[in-house]
Homo-oligomer: A and B are copies of this chain.
Amino acid sequence: MSADKVTIADVARTAGVSKGLVSFALNNRPGVGAETRVRILQVAQDLGWKPSLRARSLSTQRSFALGLVIARNPEVLASDPFFPSFIAGVESILSTERRALVLSVVPDEETELQTYRSLVADGRVDGVFLSDLRHNDARIPLLTELGLPAVTLGRPDGDSPYPAVTVDDTPGVTASVRYLAELGHRRIAHVAGSPNLLHGTRRREAFAAAMAAAGLPEGQTVETDFSVGAGSDATRRLLGQAIRPTAIVYANDPMAIAGLGVAHELGIRIPEDLSITGFDDIDFCRYVFPPLTTVSAAPAVWGRAAATTLLHLMEHGRADDVDLPAARLIIRGSAAPPARH
């Protein structure tokens, strides 16, 4: 393994040039004669030289790594496969770029901000992904102040200097409601996500708008924190009423699956007595019974696009927003016309 110890000095010496020139050749910078460049590169290869990332980091003040910090409570994080899929997408891009992903999982928003600070203080990352956008998200001004490039998953509600990579989830919710309305449902409820999260309120607003558009009375809405347990509780509450909804639109799949469990427990048949829809199209959806009608979000594709955009931003100083195909309704077996009274 003596090859591991080859340094730029060795290359320079055996190529008979200065270290500076080797560096220039390596980085494709002008100022090196064509044949000199070829010769240097050849020597580098013969010697098995791999430029030291650490030395490079120190002199360029870059880390060649991207960061993702996730602030979710453990239960939500564990039951929601969004991040594993998203990360797999990100990695599929990074792996070809000699860049690494630094991941932080933190318990709350305060620690989250602190984490960003130390990430840049320690020069761990050159850019970050901003997920789970919140209202007036404090991360955006913080990162701006820190001068850290970023890309947001979805469009923030305030000003943002960062490119947004978006999957519009509104059409999916709208389609869910319309679909249920066309089946004949009138009392449709919504188990909403966290009101702190942009996509929580956005889905909720989409629900309300779609109800109005379908000429239906305002639907009952229950707020949750997106966790399976909260989905279960919300369902129990909705179904425990004297007059209960004939359909429920859930803001994510784990809660819908919990709803399925509650309905089974109460002897309420799905879809005969109650129709439900989810959101995200996690793998479980196809394998519960009845299979869950839901909205697909394609987190891996999102991850790829976000990574590509962030790299572009870092390299060129700017990047366009990208709008991915909107989430769309996947019809399976969990919804049917309401029972006649």
Residues of A within 8 A of B (CB): 4, 50, 52-55, 57-58, 61, 63, 65, 74-75, 77-79, 81, 83-85, 87-88, 91-92, 95, 98, 100-107, 111, 115, 118-119, 121-124, 227-229, 231-232, 254, 257-258, 260-265, 282-284, 286-291, 300
Known contacts: A95-B111, A102-B102, A265-B289. The answer to whether A78 contacts B122 by CB under 8 A is: no
Q: For A74, give its contact among B57, B104, B300 (CB under 8 Å).
A: B300
Q: For A122, give its contact among B53, B81, B95, B228 (CB under 8 Å).
A: B53
Shortest C-beta distance, A316 to chain B (Å), equals 24
Contact B284 A124 (CB under 8 A): no
Q: Which residues of chain B have C-beta atoms less than 8 A from A122's C-beta?
A: 53, 98, 100
Q: For A257, give its contact among B100, B102, B287 (CB under 8 Å).
A: B287
State in angstroms the CA–CA spacing of A122 and B52 once bound together: 7
Contact A104 B100 (CB under 8 A): yes
State in angstroms the CA–CA spacing of A265 and B50 once bound together: 57
Which applies to chain A's interface (DSSP): helix, strand, loop or mixed? helix
State in angstroms the CA–CA spacing of A282 and B264 once bound together: 20
Contact A75 B254 (CB under 8 A): no
Query: Could you write out 25 A-B pairs with CB less than 8 Å apart?
Result: A4-B121, A52-B123, A53-B122, A54-B123, A55-B58, A57-B58, A77-B85, A77-B88, A79-B81, A84-B105, A91-B106, A95-B106, A100-B104, A100-B122, A228-B286, A229-B287, A254-B284, A258-B288, A260-B289, A261-B287, A261-B288, A263-B289, A264-B290, A265-B289, A265-B290
Closest B residue to A118 by beta carbon equals: B98
Closest B residue to A64 by beta carbon equals: B122
Q: Which residues of chain B have C-beta atoms less than 8 A from A87's C-beta?
A: 103, 105
State in angstroms the CA–CA spacing of A112 and B260 once bound together: 38
Q: Taking each of A61, A88, A300, which has the highest tally of chain B beta carbons within 10 Å of its own beta carbon? A: A88
State in angstroms the CA–CA spacing of A228 and B281 once bound together: 13
Shortest C-beta distance, A293 to chain B (Å), equals 14
Closest B residue to A51 by beta carbon equals: B122
Contact A282 B79 (CB under 8 A): yes
Contact B58 A257 (CB under 8 A): no
State in angstroms the CA–CA spacing of A4 and B61 once bound together: 13
Q: For A282, give its contact among B78, B83, B84 (CB under 8 Å).
A: B78
Closest B residue to A146 by beta carbon equals: B1
Closest B residue to A1 by beta carbon equals: B145
State in angstroms the CA–CA spacing of A291 and B263 once bound together: 13
Q: For A228, give its contact among B105, B111, B227, B283 (CB under 8 Å).
A: B283
Q: Taking each of A84, A102, A119, which has the highest tally of chain B beta carbons within 10 Å of its own beta carbon? A: A84
Contact A123 B261 (CB under 8 A): no
Contact A258 B287 (CB under 8 A): yes
Shortest C-beta distance, A118 to chain B (Å), equals 7
Contact B100 A53 (CB under 8 A): no
State in angstroms the CA–CA spacing of A258 and B254 once bound together: 14
Q: Taking each of A85, A258, A284, which has the highest tally of chain B beta carbons within 10 Å of its own beta carbon? A: A284
